Structure 1
Amino acid sequence: MKPEIYTDDEYIEWALNQLKLQDLKENYEEEIQLAIENDIGYRKFLLNILKVEEEGRSKKLIERNMKAARFENFVTIESFDFSFQKSINMEKIKDFHSLAFLQRKENIILIGPPGVGKTHIVTSIGIQACKEKKRVLFTSAIDLVEKMSVYQKKGLLKKLFKSLSKIDLLIIDEMGHLVLDKEKESMIFQLIRQRYEKNSLIITTNLPLGEWDKIFTSTLSATAVLDRLVHHCHIVSIPGESYRVKGKQKEA
């Protein structure tokens, strides 16, 4: 409530709270002191305090997006060992971090055996997207299907799909570990159809695309899903040894 009688400082405090200018509230005294010490003009002072608020809000948004993404680890592409996986096109992977594929509503599929760095790569892309203020969700394929099944039983599947449609980048890890029945297969198909040419999807899998009939109930079902998934898609194959096996061999 606005005070009836107040000092200048009390009004400033009240107004900043009322307008929800939290970062400005925490820093305006310092900015005033800097303006006095450096003889900064009114326009420059206004510019500086606006930057304080804008930068603070941007930082908080990125932090919220990072938390909401539910990454298992926080990794960057700079920490990826391209010297170990020499089969990978380093420039192509780094180009994904420009997020041009996201602007074009394209998908990415990374195919390779366990331990070759698929999850590291897609996590680093997701983190970069969060830094660019995009909404991201990282989930294992098994967890996603279980969640959809729970919502289906509660009659809330449409609500879940609506929530997922607001995600700019959905990352589904380890798709090859699924074995779907008709009901779960239908939910996966609906999800991919919903995102087709609207929002980007990244999938990692240990199964070549020609073997996706092992995931779905039939070759026909697998083809229906892949038809939409690969239409606007970058497919990256990563053959090679496992980083984890490499580490154990060194220990031995």
Structure 2
Amino acid sequence: MTTDATALFDVGERIPGPRKDPAAAGVVETVIDEACRTLHLPTIRSRFEEIAATALKERASYKDFLADLLEAECLQREERKKARLVREANFPRPKRLEDFDFAANPNVTPEQINSLADPAWVTAGQPLCLIGDSGTGKSHLLIGLGTAIAEAGLRVRYTTTANLVNELAEAADEKKLGRTLARYGRVDLLCLDEFGYLDLDKAGAKLLFQVFTEREERRAIAVASNAPFSEWKQTFTDPRLCAAIVDRVTFNAHIIETGTDSFRLAQTTRNRRRRS
């Protein structure tokens, strides 16, 4: 065969009609299927016939057809990566920023929150503090922002403060504290919920302090607390340790005060009034 192979990929070259020999077509499909398995291209493997049919209908060039195949694979791979990063973040329930009711809590502005959906503050290692009473949307914002950051391609980990301290204490007992601290030190954003809900003894506070020290000015931490900074000394009973933790959480931090009026309670009250 003397035909120049490069001519097949000329921009002007169009995809020919379907092969008339069913056996030959079957062989080609088998080759494509096996190649896609070997190269780990699941989207091309599942969609090449559909995309080929569209290319044939639109009389696309070989290059256009190839571009469509690769684009479909890249887009689907990106979606799978987003889903994996969100799953690995270990959020307790799905919450998204677009579902937050800003009208119910005027203390929080969409502009402020949407700016934090950009991962620049995370890559800069800046802290985030969400301070407010229960029912004001702190956890929703913490999970929603964590989800947005994960979908931007960064590694996120969610946990409550009590669970983290318990995990660190167990790791210390099993001589695995260094490994656990390193694991929490590697994630780009650590989301700590229910910060300040429980009083910590000196040993627990020291363990938590090691996490903050491990991440200081390198990796971002976001905390949600129902207590203002002035009351954190009730959680961290050692005054020096408390001051050190507050210093690390607030240095170059984004601080959002969600207020004191529970819109969950207000919503429940309105629903009861409607029913009655």
Q: Same fold (TM over 0.5)?
A: yes
Deviations 1:191-216 (A, max 9, x none): 11111111111101111112211111
Alignment of 1:172-183 (within 5 A): 172-183=192-203
Any conservation in 1 of the 2:123–2:188 contact (CA below 8 Å)? no
CA distance in 1, matches of 2:198, 2:190: 17
- Stretches of structure 1 lacking an aligned partner (at least 5 in a row): 1-5
Any conservation in 1 of the 2:196–2:227 contact (CA below 8 Å)? yes
Deviations 1:66-118 (A, max 9, x none): 21112222222232222222223442122112233123221110111111111
- Counterpart of 1:12? 32
- Counterpart of 1:3? none
Any conservation in 2 of the 1:87–1:239 contact (CA below 8 Å)? yes
Which AA in structure 2 matches 1:160? T
CA distance in 2, matches of 1:60, 1:235: 32
Tell me how many residue pairs correspond in the alignment. Answer: 247
Which AA in structure 2 matches 1:133? G
- Stretches of structure 2 lacking an aligned partner (at least 5 in a row): 1-25
CA distance in 1, matches of 2:31, 2:73: 19
Which AA in structure 1 matches 2:151? K
State the Cα RMSD in Å: 1.7
- Please tell me whether Structure 1 or Structure 2 has the larger radius of gyration of its CA atoms: 2
Shift of 1:11: 2.5
- Counterpart of 1:75? 95
TM-score normalised by L of structure 2: 0.84
- Counterpart of 1:84? 104
Which AA in structure 1 matches 2:152? E
Instruction: Report the 3-state secondary structure (helix = DSSP H, G, I; strand = E; otherwise coil) of the residue aligned with 1:217.
Output: coil
Shift of 1:243: 2.1
Of 208, 217, 221, 2:237 maps to 217
- Counterpart of 1:187? 207
Shift of 1:12: 2.1
Shift of 1:228: 1.9
CA distance in 1, matches of 2:139, 2:27: 56
- Counterpart of 2:179? 159
TM-score normalised by L of structure 1: 0.91
Any conservation in 2 of the 1:24–1:52 contact (CA below 8 Å)? yes
Residue identity over aligned pairs, in percent, reads 26
